[in-house]
Each structure stands twice: as C-alpha cells, then as structure tokens.
Amino acid sequence: MLLASFFGVVMGLVLGLTGAGGGILAVPALVLGLGWTMTQAAPVALFAVGSAAAIGAIDGLRHGLVRYRAALLIALLGAVFSPVGIFFAHQLPEKVLMILFSLLMVLVASRMLRRERHDEGPSDHGHANWGQKNCMLDQQTGRFSWTAKCTATLAALGAVTGVVSGLLGVGGGFLIVPAFKQLTDVQMRGIVATSLMVISLISAIGVIGAFQAGVRIDSLGYTFIAASIVGMIIGRKLCARIPPRALQTGFAAICIVVAAYMLFRTAM
C-alpha cells in the first residue's frame, strides 16, 4: 500500500510539472514495482493519469489556458480509436507489450533531451509567421483559425493518441505536447493545460472501455489513483519554480533507466 502511494505521488508530480510523461511512468511503476501484468496495469494507469490530469485541466480552464475546442476534437478521435488499442492489447503477448512500451520510453526520452528554442511572450501566442505551422492562433481573437489543414492535423493526432492510449495504458501527453509545439504556435503554458484536458478525456474513455471489457480495479489500484491526484496538486504548485530543462533532462534519464530494466526483465 505504501509503495503504491509512493509511485502514485511520483507519477502525479511528473504529470503536473510537465503536462506529459506521467502515464509513461505509471505503467512501469505498477509492472516493476507491484508485480502486475501489462493488461492489469494499463487501466489503473489510465484511471490514475486521467484523474490527475483532470485536476490540472480544471486549473488551466480557470486561467483561460485550455484550447478546449482543440482538446475536444483530439479527445473525440481518441475515443473512436482507443478501443482499437485495447483490442490489440488483449491479443498481443505480454513480452511484446513490454518491448513496445520500452521502445516508447526511449522515444520519449530522446524527445525530452532534444534542445528546443524557447519563445518568450506575455501572452499565449507564439512568434511563428503564417504558413509555418499547421494550426495558427488568430492574433485578434486568440483562438485557432480552423482551416481544413488544422482540423485534419488535430484529428490525426487524436487518432494516434487514442490507439497508443488503449494499447499501452498511457494518457498520450508525450505525443500531444511535442506535437503541439511542432504544429501550432501556442505557448508552453497553453500546451500543458490543453494536453492535460485531452489526457483526462481520453483516459476516461479508455477506463470505461476497460470496465466494459470486464477489467476491475482493487484497493491497491485505487490507492495508487488517489496518490497520483495528490502528486498532481503538488506538481502544479511547483511547476513555476523548477527550470524546464532540468526537469526534462531528469525525466529523460529516468525513462532510459526504466526502459533498459524493462527490456532486461523481458529478456530474462
């Protein structure tokens, strides 16, 4: 019970600080720390990530940071494609799922370690010029200009996020955050808030699908979920005090170590 609480707090903390990455740590914590299988861990991880993300999303909505139309579109496509991931999760062998998850962690770590230009600005607008990004904010309204290209881009992101979420039990923040940075001119604080809303919605849909498939969560799982919410609250309070680069480097190092250990366990 104590171990589940500890891992839950850490997962929520990472999610609150970065807007991504919590789910990528939740599954290894349950599999390696508590001895669960991937199929057991995935719905609990989704529930924990979704609950913690909802707390952060509500805070983002209060401050007007969430791009809620974009979040709803991504979540809608995620809802459609999440059952596809859940289906394959129950068809693939445990070792294959472990290998896929390990490779995913390495990919996330490499993205985190990649240095990126940081745009300073008093608002949530970036400094890209028209044509440089698939989705651009209208400089007068502060909202996305919903072109066909922008809509298709966000819909595709939702579909991919939904499949990965259902397959591996992750919220998808590790996909949403870098995709938003690459494809839109939204500033980082808006990206994190929007990512948290998408994660909470997609995770909720994935959990409902898992329950319909007969999955049940025990008391240990609910302890992990409650602890993750506590971690999220702490993370949201600390996020302005920790240098983003230090946070990314530390998180990437953890991902690489955990991925290596998971591959070692799979090989054994």
* Domain range list for the chain: 2-267
- CA 4 vs. chain centroid, Å, equals 20
Closest C-alpha to 69, from 219, 218, 190, 245 = 190
Token duo for residue 264: 């070692």
What stretch of H or E contains 166? Answer: helix 148-168
Spatial separation of the C-alpha atoms in residues 187 and 53, rounded to whole Å: 19
Coil vs helix vs strand at 135: strand
Whole-prediction pTM: 0.72
pLDDT of amino acid 130: 41
Kindly give the confidence (pLDDT) of every residue in the chain, 268 residues in length, as a single tens digit, with 9 standing for 90 and above: 788 898 888 888 877 776 655 667 788 888 888 888 877 887 888 888 888 788 888 888 888 888 989 999 999 998 889 888 888 888 888 888 889 888 888 887 887 777 544 444 434 444 444 446 888 888 777 788 888 999 999 999 999 988 988 888 776 777 888 788 888 888 878 888 888 898 888 788 778 877 887 778 888 889 998 998 898 888 877 876 777 677 778 778 878 888 888 888 888 7
**φ and ψ of 127, to 5 deg:** -120, 20
